[in-house]
Copies of this chain bind each other. A is one copy, B any other.
Amino acid sequence: MRVLKYAILGLLNRHPMTGYDIGKEFNYELAEFWHAKHSQIYTELKKLHKEELVTFDIEISGDILEKKQYSITDKGREDLIYWLHKDELIGKTAKDVFRVRMYFCNFLDLDARIGLLESQKMQQTKRMNTLMKTAEQYPEVPLADSDRFGDYIILEGAIMRQKSIIAWLDKCIGYCQKAQEEKKA
C-alpha cells in the first residue's frame, strides 16, 4: 500500500520541504489521519529518491548545517495523482486499545470502569477543544481548489469524530452509574 509514500508526495506536491518539516506536519493537521516518526520519514525519503519520485537541493543554514530541501519530480506527481484517483474498498475498522478494555470490562468493578471512562472522556475532550480552536481560523469553507480545502474538511471530520467518541463515552458512563445505583438499592 505504501501510504506514507503518498502522504509525503502529497506534502511535497504543495511545496518543497525538508524531512524535518515533514515530521512537523505529522504533528499538526496531518496527525488527524496519519503519523510517522522521523526515523521512518528519512528512510522513506531515501527510498523515494532512489525511485526518482523526489529530488533534493542541499542548502546551508548558518555556517555548516546542511538541510535537504526535497521537491517532487514529474514522475512523482504523476504517481501521486494516479493514486489519489483510486477508489479502494474500505478496510477493517481501525484498531482501538481502549475499546478492547471496554469489551472485556465486565471483569472490572463499576468504580474502575467509571474511572477509566472519565479519564478517557477528559483526554478526548481536551483533544476536541484543541481542534475547535484550530477551526476558529476558518471563518468560512475555503475554495474547493485550494490546499486549505483539504485542511478544512479533515479538521471538520476530526471534530465530528471527536464529538461522537465523547457522546459514546457519556452513554457508557451513564450505563455504569445506573448499574451502580441499582446495586445500592
Residues of A within 8 A of B (CB): 1, 3, 6-7, 10, 13, 29-35, 80-81, 83-108, 110, 112, 115-116, 119-120, 123-124, 127, 141, 143-147, 149-151, 153-154, 156-158, 160-161, 163-165, 167-168, 171-172, 175-176, 179
Let me know if A160 and B164 touch, CB within 8 A: yes
Let me know if A90 and B127 touch, CB within 8 A: yes
With the chains together, A100 CA to B13 CA distance in Å?
13
Chain B nearest Cβ from A93, distance in angstroms: 5
With the chains together, A86 CA to B91 CA distance in Å?
29
User: Contacts A100-B6, A168-B156; is A33 near B95 (CB within 8 Å)?
Assistant: yes
Chain B neighbourhood of A141, CB < 8 A: 175
Chain B neighbourhood of A143, CB < 8 A: 179
Count identical subunits in the complex.
Answer: 2
Let me know if B146 and A106 touch, CB within 8 A: yes
Let me know if B13 and A105 touch, CB within 8 A: no
22 A-B residue pairs with CB within 8 Å: A10-B104, A13-B104, A29-B103, A32-B93, A33-B96, A33-B100, A35-B92, A80-B104, A84-B104, A85-B116, A86-B101, A90-B124, A91-B97, A104-B150, A106-B144, A106-B145, A106-B146, A153-B172, A153-B175, A156-B171, A160-B164, A161-B161
- With beta carbons under 8 angstroms apart, the residue of B112, B146, B154 that contacts A103 is B154
- With beta carbons under 8 angstroms apart, the residue of B84, B90, B123 that contacts A89 is B123
Chain B neighbourhood of A80, CB < 8 A: 104, 107
Nearest-neighbor residue (CB-CB) of A90 within chain B? B123
With the chains together, A136 CA to B146 CA distance in Å?
44
Chain B nearest Cβ from A9, distance in angstroms: 9
Let me know if B112 and A85 touch, CB within 8 A: yes
